[in-house]
Amino acid sequence: MIYSWKRIVKHGLPLLTVAVVIEIFAGQILQGRQDMLILFPVFLISIPVINSIGGNIGSVLGARLASGLHVGYITISLKDKEMHENLFYSLLIGFITYIILAIVIYYLALLGGLRMGIGLIEFVAILVSTGFLLICVVALMSVLTAFLSFKRGLDPDDVVAPVVTTVGDTLGIIFLFLLIGVVGI
């Protein structure tokens, strides 16, 4: 496969255009819920963390899968042992990271004098649940996108990251608001 900037732009531009439209939709969700975010600003400062961890873990998983597919130690099979190991460790790292960061965010917000309106346990439960749901979906998207793009002759390195970050940003916001509603805040 020969790589050139023209080929990357030709294959990437339509995908990035769709990603921009979806990200605008995610921004509209945030704007529509800004009253709740003003009442609970700790969630406002949590959104970039939720989205970046989900996107980063999904992108790293996608890059690992892409490298494995290119080199040949991962096959396009949902039964591939190496893929399963990468998936498991991505979920584990994400879960642990969300727990640690939820606690850190809560106490930094308290130290900063931010009006909380929510207890530590509720906040950690919402953030970790949001994060874990997000990582599960993003990991699945990463695997499917890597496999499908590779099968179709596209470089997964050019496809996985935009798909995963767009899905992650949008679903991170949606999952957060859904879980806030479930908890009853």
Q: Please state, in angstroms and as integers, the Cα–Cα distance from residue 69 to each residue in 79, 91, 148, 166, following that order.
A: 14, 20, 11, 23
Against a cut of 0.85, is the pTM above it? no
Backbone angles phi, psi at 164, to 5 degrees: -65, -45
Spatial distance between the Cα atoms of 56 and 166, rounded to a whole number of angstroms: 12
Assign 174 to helix, strand or coil: helix
pLDDT in tens, 140-166: 999 998 888 888 887 777 788 888 888
**Which residue matches tokens 């470089």?**
155
Spatial distance between the Cα atoms of 159 and 93, rounded to a whole number of angstroms: 23
State the DSSP code for 76.
S
| pLDDT confidence of residue 132 | 94
| pLDDT confidence of residue 150 | 87
Q: Where are the alpha helices (DSSP H) in the chain?
A: 5-32, 34-39, 41-71, 81-111, 120-151, 156-183
Spatial distance between the Cα atoms of 22 and 151, rounded to a whole number of angstroms: 25
Give all domains of the chain, ordered by start, each with its CATH number. 5-183 (1.10.357.20)
Q: Find all residues with CB under 8 Å of 19, minimum gap 6, and list them.
A: 162, 163, 165, 166
**Which residue matches tokens 């809560």?**
106
**Which residue matches tokens 């960061």?**
101
What's the average model confidence in pLDDT over 165-185?
89
Q: Looking at the chain, how many residues does it have? A: 185
What's the average model confidence in pLDDT over 111-135?
91
Q: Find all residues with CB under 8 Å of 73, minimum gap 6, and list them.
A: 82
With a pLDDT cut of 70, the percent of the chain lying above it is 97
